[in-house]
């Protein structure tokens, strides 16, 4: 049942805002997360939604929830809090939600499960949550994120027609998070971890903050982008061969392990095939996963480590030959060429600077 309340616009005109269940829950959740005393405004006359300004004594910024004609609810948040906030809320059969964090970090704990850290680039899925969820947000952190909520009736409508890829992927996603399917009882899980900002889904999420909402054209443009964003989410971690959520989680863990290995063994790194055997995935998954998660290839990562160490050695007085041999280059000329590409100058440039400072 929809609720209506009178609130004041910025121009002091009174506007009726339809407080649907989804929008009402967003306002309540933000208060439970410690953002109390926020001023409430309608988004615009073209949207059914609420805009909340963070009070100056708490921090700065805003959060808003908009419901579009298809029934989807989009929540956008961009704020900064002065103090650590801890909030607890009770979830009862929450609709399917995608939570995308663009900037910042916070922790949460659902029920008796282990505490989880959410970082920029993470995408978490909530579905049919029942229980308490605790959110801990550190002070002095910018938080920028998007939540997309698909109400139950819309999920059921889509699941009744599996003739398109989006519906089939939605079916896999809901099945994965439902008891008795895949991970039994897994109601909250990461769909992706630390995606680079250049990822298409992350780009579309950030783009949602850029639309004008005070015109009919802006409304239509925003809604079309929101639907495109949903399609991007549904296509993010699924393949034609079945549910890839578990596979992607395994790849993520394997890439993390590979990074740890290279941090310790960059001087004599293992081959890609040897690395793949050590972390337990094939070479193709390792190379593609590493590039997506870290933002560069394995070879580029090793070169970065070598060139960073090379600069330290040059600036501490070591010769070019000594440095080249230490970081794994038998040919000083080749080392100098790679060094210049990375640091913008030949090693001799930094060596002279060091000599002048000592002189």
Which tens digits make up the pLDDT trace of 20-40?
A: 555 566 566 666 555 555 555
Q: pLDDT class for 145, splitting at 50, 70, 90?
A: very high
Q: Does the structure show a pLDDT above 50 at 12? A: no
- Whole-number pLDDT of residue 98: 92
Higher pLDDT, 148 or 37: 148
Per-residue CA distances from 309 to 116, 294, 320, 326, 350 (Å): 34, 19, 12, 9, 13
Residue 185 DSSP one-character state:
T
Q: Does the structure show a pLDDT above 60 at 136? A: yes
CB neighbours of residue 194 within 10 Å: 19
Which of 70-74, 335-339, 350-354 has the highest mean predicted lDDT (pLDDT)? 335-339
Q: pLDDT class for 115, splitting at 50, 70, 90?
A: confident
Q: Does the structure show a pLDDT above 70 at 359? A: no
Alpha helices in the chain (DSSP H): 21-32, 152-159, 165-177, 200-207, 216-234, 245-265, 272-279, 283-294, 298-315, 320-326, 332-343, 347-358
Helix (H) or strand (E) holding 197: none
Q: pLDDT class for 50, splitting at 50, 70, 90?
A: confident
Q: What is the pLDDT averaged over residues 7-14?
A: 36
Measured CA to CA, the distance from residue 207 to residue 198 in angstroms comes to 12
- Whole-number pLDDT of residue 186: 52
Query: CB-based burial of residue 116 (10 Å sphere; 0-12 exposed, 13-18 middle, 19+ buried)?
Result: middle
Q: Does the structure show a pLDDT above 90 at 103? A: yes
Q: What is the pTM of this model?
A: 0.58
- Whole-number pLDDT of residue 93: 65
Q: What is the pLDDT averaged over residues 268-275?
A: 92
Phi, psi of 88 (to 5 degrees): -125, 140
Q: What is the pLDDT averaged over residues 109-137?
A: 85
Higher pLDDT, 217 or 69: 217
Query: Domain 300-358 class?
Result: mainly alpha
Q: Could you report how far apart the first and last alpha carbons of the chain are, in Å? A: 79
Q: Are 122 and 138 in contact (CB under 8 A)?
A: no
Ranges of beta strands (E only) in 138-266 are: 142-150, 188-192, 238-239, 242-243
* 63 closest CA partner among 105, 34, 92, 88: 34
Helix/strand/coil for 294: helix
Q: Are 159 and 167 in contact (CB under 8 A)?
A: yes
Q: Which of 151-165, 204-218, 263-277 has the lowest mean pLDDT?
A: 151-165
Q: Are 66 and 73 in contact (CB under 8 A)?
A: yes
- Whole-number pLDDT of residue 298: 93
Q: Does the structure show a pLDDT above 70 at 19? A: no
- Whole-number pLDDT of residue 56: 85
Sheet holding 47-53, edge to edge: 39-44, 47-53, 59-67, 73-81, 142-150, 96-103, 123-126, 188-192
- For the domain spanning 3-242, the CATH number is 2.60.120.10
Q: Does the structure show a pLDDT above 90 at 270? A: yes
Q: pLDDT class for 154, splitting at 50, 70, 90?
A: confident
- Whole-number pLDDT of residue 256: 86
């Amino acid at each position: 049942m929809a609720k209506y309340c009178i609130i004041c616009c910025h121009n002091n005109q009174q506007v009726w805002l339809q407080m649907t269940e989804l929008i009402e829950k967003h306002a309540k959740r933000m208060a439970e997360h410690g953002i109390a005393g926020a001023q409430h405004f309608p988004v615009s006359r073209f949207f059914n939604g609420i805009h909340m300004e963070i009070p100056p004594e708490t921090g700065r910024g805003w959060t808003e929830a908009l419901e579009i004609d298809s029934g989807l609810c989009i929540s956008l948040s961009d704020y900064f809090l002065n103090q650590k906030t801890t909030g607890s809320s009770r979830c009862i059969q929450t609709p399917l939600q995608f939570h995308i964090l663009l900037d910042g970090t916070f922790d949460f704990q659902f029920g008796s499960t282990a505490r989880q850290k959410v970082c920029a680039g993470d995408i978490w899925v909530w579905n049919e949550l029942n229980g308490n969820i605790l959110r801990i947000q550190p002070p002095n952190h910018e938080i920028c994120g998007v939540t997309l909520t698909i109400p139950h009736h819309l999920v059921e409508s889509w699941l009744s027609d599996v003739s398109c890829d989006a519906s089939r992927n939605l079916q896999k996603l809901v099945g994965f998070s439902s008891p008795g399917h895949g991970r039994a009882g897994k109601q909250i899980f990461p769909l992706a971890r630390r995606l680079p900002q250049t990822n298409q889904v992350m780009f579309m999420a950030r783009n949602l903050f850029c639309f004008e909402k005070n015109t009919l054209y802006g409304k239509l443009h925003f809604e079309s982008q929101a639907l495109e964003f949903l399609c991007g989410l549904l296509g993010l971690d699924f393949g034609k061969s079945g549910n890839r959520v578990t596979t992607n989680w395994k790849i993520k863990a394997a890439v993390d392990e590979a990074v740890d290995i290279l941090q310790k063994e960059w001087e004599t790194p293992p081959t890609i095939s040897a690395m793949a055997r050590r972390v337990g995935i094939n070479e193709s998954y390792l190379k593609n996963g590493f590039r997506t998660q870290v933002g560069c290839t394995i070879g580029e990562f090793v070169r970065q480590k070598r060139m960073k160490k090379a600069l330290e050695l040059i600036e501490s007085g070591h010769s070019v030959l000594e440095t080249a041999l230490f970081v794994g280059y038998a040919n000083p000329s080749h080392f100098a060429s790679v060094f210049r590409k990375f640091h913008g100058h030949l090693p001799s440039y930094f060596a002279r600077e060091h000599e002048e400072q000592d002189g």
